[in-house]
Chain A
Amino acid sequence: MPANQKTEDKKTEDKKTENEKNRTDTANLFKNPDGTEKILKRLRDLTDPARPLRLMEICGTHTMSIARAGLRGLLASDDFAVDGFLCPGHVAAVIGSDAFAFLPEEYGIPAVVAGFEAADLLYSILELTALAAAKTPALRNTYVRLVKPQGNPAAVRLMRQVLTPAADTWRGLGVIENGGLAIRPEYAAWDAARKFSLPAFQDAEPAGCRCASVIRGALSPDACPLFGTACTPADPVGPCMVSGEGACAAAWRYGPAGLS
């Protein structure tokens, strides 16, 4: 083997190691109680209790088109009051973190693509808070161990092959053009909705449910008249009371005083 070839190999190897290093999440540095304390302290320093920041966790939006169309629909509402977006890591693993770049670029709202472990979320909230407090519209990816800017092109190709953007109903927001996915005509034989003549999804909001306002950051969960009375995690009325990720479910479980 010629000497210069060896040097080339070594260079490639070094480059690889460097890439690996860069791909290690900063969030990993905070996977201990001291790290958590540091994050909490920095969060306290960054925020002003008199002017709380409203951060929104986005769930779903499984294609670029849904992310754009759906979030644009959301951003267009008059009472939209969110200072930053926490973007879904596993969606971004497929469609790429770049899919959320339009949020800071076009709307001036910072966004952070986050992982799901406690340290991931805490660190991502810190990053987002720092951006929001400084009014810096930027996109950050704190889940680099899984998420690339361009995502997973093979998966995106497959989705495009079978599915196509279509109008869909978002709870509390109504029908959003290109806000959902439909099965392409070539694959209609496998479309359960056609095959079994399923009725169209009904979007009648239950009486009194204020999830739409909670989602937009315009209403805090405990201000909803159904909160904790007609609507509880065991018997939810609206989507915000469902699962550990629902804003109302978390507010109901921990209460205003939390656990500390």
Chain B
Amino acid sequence: MLHTVNKSPFDSQSLKTCLGLARSGSDILLIEDGVYGALVGTAHAAMLDQALKEVSIYALGPDLKARGLPEDRLIRGIKVVGFDGFVELASANDKVQSWL
């Protein structure tokens, strides 16, 4: 399953809830304000590091760029994808769950 998260983890429980419920092997895509969760060295980074052992985490490149977050400031293991990568993830998974 593909999970998308569009809220900042500092402002919402969406990411925490998503990571708690996502099965091992799931794809998690951070979009819009959700991309702040990909930042290295934050109060939530340990939660992401732990999750990366079980799931794949992606962040949407155009949303990172809009917010001034360069790739070298992201947690190691998080992959950056474009809109085409978003489409590929959506079609590669049987279901898409949006954590609004």
Answer yes or no: do A and B interact.
no
